[in-house]
């Protein structure tokens, strides 16, 4: 469904942020993109969705294809219309508007009021909590409720693939469970997911497949079950060795390097 082949991203024509990234998301699949802060995970999502152009960045090499069609270099609105939506990090609600007004903005492409009402009903059915909160001002919601709202707003665009960046960030454990239960229901309904997440445990519980990034490169990939069983994944992801000291990926033994390692 989504394929990246040797993708490079350049910021300000100087900083090479992604260095030959190749990865795939299958139809109805769920893929986790893991790694420490600054590894390039969010940049990868922004390159896919076209948001990178608004941050003085560009895809300077490689290919990004969605359902067989190249999308790199296209603006984000065109990418959304193609069926791919990006839920960015930070729960970016419109704080002075109600929950329902936020959702309506997510469905701005609908040409009729009837289509808008149908989409709203679908979101409220998928996320009943939002139905109860529809008249609440978004800025007064809890962090978990805001996360559900931005997911609901993304659903309004009727995507076939959702990119979601750090859905558990800053949430209490109970809310993390609720958010990932929602994502699990969405993927059961056929929505493909590419999840950037630092909570390795919850990410690999929902994902079928995972990639690990460091310094703008994919350095490890495998089935989620295989990655969950790999002690070195936890060790690298936390950035700590067994004695509690900081460790680079290159220092961790027993990793299986990708054959297509560049550099």
- Within 13 Å of residue 262, how many CA atoms lie on the same side as its CB? 14
Alpha-carbon distance 208 to 17, whole Å? 26
pLDDT digits (tens, 9 = 90+) for 5-41: 999 999 988 899 999 999 999 999 999 999 888 889 9
Q: pLDDT at residue 217 above 60?
A: yes
Quote the pLDDT of residue 235: 66
CB 112 within 8 A of CB 144: no
Instruction: For the domain covering 2-238, report its CATH number.
Output: 3.40.50.300
Average pLDDT of the residues in 110-128: 87
Say if residue 46 is exposed, middle or buried (CB neighbours under 10 Å; 0-12, 13-18, 19+): buried
What's the whole-number mean pLDDT along residues 67-79? 89
Strand spans (E) along the chain: 2-11, 15-25, 30-34, 57-66, 69-70, 84-87, 161-165, 192-196, 209-214, 217-223
Is 241's pLDDT higher than 70?
A: no
- Inform me whether the pLDDT recorded for 254 exceeds 70: no
The pLDDT tens digits for 174-184 are 889 999 999 99
d(CA 173, CA 104): 29
**Residue 20 phi, psi (nearest 5):** 75, 50
Q: If you average pLDDT over residues 242-260, what whole number do you get?
A: 47
pTM of the model: 0.84
pLDDT of res. 64: 96
Q: What is the number of alpha carbons within 13 Å of residue 215 lying toward its C-beta?
A: 8
For the chain, give every domain's residue range. Answer: 2-238
Query: What pLDDT is recorded for position 164?
Result: 94
Q: Would you state the pLDDT for residue 237? A: 59
Dihedral sign for Cα 155, 160, 163, 164, please.
positive
For the cut 60, the answer to whether the pLDDT of residue 245 exceeds it is no
């Amino acid at each position: 469904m989504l394929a990246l082949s040797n993708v490079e991203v350049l910021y300000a024509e100087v900083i090479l942020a992604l260095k030959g990234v190749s990865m795939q998301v299958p139809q109805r699949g769920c893929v986790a993109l893991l790694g420490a802060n600054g590894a390039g995970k969010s940049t990868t999502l922004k390159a896919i969705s076209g948001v990178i152009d608004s941050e003085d960045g560009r895809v300077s090499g490689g290919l990004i294809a969605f359902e067989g069609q190249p999308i790199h270099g296209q603006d984000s609105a065109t990418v959304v219309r193609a069926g791919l939506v990006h839920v960015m990090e930070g729960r970016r609600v419109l704080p002075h508007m109600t929950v329902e007004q936020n959702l309506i903005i997510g469905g701005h492409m609908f040409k009729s009021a009837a289509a808008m009402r149908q989409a709203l009903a679908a979101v409220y059915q998928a996320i009943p909590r939002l139905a109860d909160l529809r008249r609440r001002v978004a800025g007064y919601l809890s962090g978990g409720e805001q996360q559900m709202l931005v997911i609901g707003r993304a659903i309004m665009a009727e995507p076939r693939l959702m990119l979601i960046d750090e859905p558990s960030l800053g949430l209490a454990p109970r809310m993390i469970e609720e958010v990932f239960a929602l994502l699990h229901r969405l993927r059961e309904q056929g929505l493909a997911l590419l999840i950037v997440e630092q909570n390795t445990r919850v990410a690999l519980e929902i994902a079928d497949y995972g990639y690990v990034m460091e310094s703008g490169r994919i350095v490890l990939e495998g089935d989620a079950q295989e990655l969950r069983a790999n002690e070195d994944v936890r060790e690298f992801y936390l950035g700590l060795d067994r004695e509690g000291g900081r460790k680079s990926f290159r220092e961790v033994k027993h990793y299986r390097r990708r054959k297509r390692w560049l550099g």
